[in-house]
Structure 1
Amino acid sequence: MLTLRNLAGTGLRVSPIGLGTVKLGRDKGVKYPSRFTIPDDQQAARLLDLSRDLGINLLDTAPAYGNSETRLGPLLQHQRHHWLICSKVGEEFDPQTGESHFNFTPEHVRFSIERSLQRLRTDVIDILLVHSDGNDLDVINHYGILEQLEQLKAEGKIRAGGMSTKTIEGGIETLKRSDIAMVTYNLDYQDELPVIDYALAAQKGIFIKKALASGHIAEASEADPVHASFDLVLGHQGVSSAIIGTINPDHLRTNVMAAVESLKAGPSND
């Protein structure tokens, strides 16, 4: 069973593993090692129940995850109080083409957050991140998008904000101007470690994406790559939570148990 930890600087308490929900809403244009079938509502509800039983309280979704938000809205009715919802702005997915496009204008940010609130059937989104197109600093500086998130926070529409970044410079600038950066960090890719180090020193939040390399971690050379992954990711005191996207209950249990073992052996940021 996972124990909640402080999401630095926000007043929120978050599970060290979050459930990524892209597979609840989208099966086109994704980079997983094997094909999958989007679960029906009954299967999705069971997955959420299992996640809650395992101590997970963080759900990661986005408009770019197909109809993930739309499905989560009714599924979370009567249990909304249990969950922290992390959604995003900036990336839009076209289910017809399987392609994405990006829009960071103030008008679109406002439209996107209102749409997400409606889809998720909630009056506040706990964490809102900008879905970067890779040009992190341009998005931050040209559009003033992190200041837009601060305005949404002042209005009570979100509780914390930040960006899912792709560069060291963008990650650090995000942490200077907002609450949370989501970065890639795993056994095969550790380039963005300076962002995590900065977050620890500045007491800001860090979410990890692709902690298991989008399912490709089984190809790693370690004897037990899942345990080794969590030893690395959760062993850093700057990490608030690692987002793991799975629709397989057995995989979810295995991942959480591996995370629990790593947390027992490593440092805590409670």
Structure 2
Amino acid sequence: MPSKPLPDSRWPRRLGNTGLPLPALGFGAFKIGRNQGTKYPVGFELPDDAAVDRLLNGVLDLGLTLIDTAPAYGLSEERIGRSIARRRDEFVLSTKVGETFDDGVSRYDYSAAAVRASLERSLQRLRTDVLDLVFIHSNGDDLTIQQQTDVVDVLQDFRRRGLIRAIGLSGKTVAGAELALEWADALMVEYHLHDRSHEAVIETAAGRGLSVVVKKALASGRLPAREAIAFVLRNPAVDCAVVGGLDLEHLRENACSARSVRSPENGDQM
């Protein structure tokens, strides 16, 4: 497939061919649902329902209008559905398939039956008729997942049926991301000052018209937010960086950092 010029940072970013606008900064909803088996340097308590309601509505008011969750994020999907389903037309909803987390243990299942059941549960928990974006939640064996399981076929079937708008891979390897270029609408990759291994495939993906969403832009809280956000968003091939957190004021500061890189006055989202 021929490449096209990289998107200018002034252009509004869109999710694949859906026309849905992507903000420069999205919200990762891990911490509202799970605090076991995390990679964060400091532990945290799960917020109560009232705090989650304030946080999620505050996130949308700040313009972090991509909400990224997963079945493996514990209570996250249910809490999103309960708190902001009434504002469904205000945000892009991203979830995942392949991983669940129960009793402190991650389990992975990419079979057709498991993926279908996962998608049906997500639709119910999130209280929506359509999932805007669904990523494969990789266990690290990106190639085997794509080549030897039914997960891509099931995602494509749900997309054809109008239950999903866009599909992609949240992988861990460059080779996996490169393979996903052949079928995905979007990639979710780790990319930050301490890990630039996906830089070339990020550029290739953008050139082919895929959306690029960056996870762990702050290296799971190990990098200064302002510097890390600026690094990621100055790459014109990146559409959106996902950040998490439970402190609305910190998220407000992150939103300001994003705006300093991509100003809405120049036509970009956020």
Root-mean-square deviation over aligned CA pairs: 1.8
Distance of aligned partners of 1:268 and 1:204 in 2 relative to their CA distance in 1, 3 Å threshold: farther
Instruction: Give the corresponding residue for 1:247.
Output: 246
Instruction: Give the corresponding residue for 2:5.
Output: none
Give the count of matched residue pairs: 258
Which letter maps to 1:261?
A: S
Q: Distance in 1 between matches of 2:162 and 2:16?
A: 19
CA deviations over 1:218-259 (Å, ceiling 9, x no partner) = xxxxxxx32321222111121111110111112101111111
CA deviations over 1:173-215 (Å, ceiling 9, x no partner) = 1122110110000011111112211112111111100000110
Q: Distance in 1 between matches of 2:110 and 2:267?
A: 36
Higher RCO (CA < 8 A, seq sep 6+): 2
Distance of aligned partners of 1:19 and 1:25 in 2 relative to their CA distance in 1, 3 Å threshold: same
Moved more, 162-171 or 10-19: 10-19
Instruction: Give the corresponding residue for 1:262.
Output: 261
Instruction: Note if contact 1:8-1:240 (Cα within 8 Å) is conserved in structure 2.
Output: no
Match among 170, 179, 195 for residue 185 of structure 2: 179
Instruction: Give the corresponding residue for 2:27.
Output: 19
Q: Distance in 2 between matches of 1:227 and 1:161?
A: 30
Instruction: Note if contact 2:26-2:67 (Cα within 8 Å) is conserved in structure 1.
Output: yes
Match among 157, 181, 190 for residue 196 of structure 2: 190
Instruction: Note if contact 2:85-2:126 (Cα within 8 Å) is conserved in structure 1.
Output: no
Q: Distance in 1 between matches of 2:22 and 2:68?
A: 12
CA deviations over 1:14-46 (Å, ceiling 9, x no partner) = 111111111111010011121211111211111
Instruction: Note if contact 2:262-2:268 (Cα within 8 Å) is conserved in structure 1.
Output: no
Moved more, 78-87 or 178-187: 78-87
SS at match of 1:10: coil
TM-score (norm 1): 0.91
TM-score (norm 2): 0.91
Task: Compute the displacement of 1:10 (Å).
Answer: 3.1
Instruction: Give the corresponding residue for 2:149.
Output: 143
Instruction: Note if contact 1:10-1:179 (Cα within 8 Å) is conserved in structure 2.
Output: no
Task: Compute the displacement of 1:172 (Å).
Answer: 1.6
Q: Distance in 1 between matches of 2:124 and 2:182?
A: 30
Moved more, 113-122 or 7-16: 7-16
Task: Compute the displacement of 1:56 (Å).
Answer: 1.6
Which letter maps to 1:14?
A: L
Match among 215, 220, 226 for residue 214 of structure 1: 220
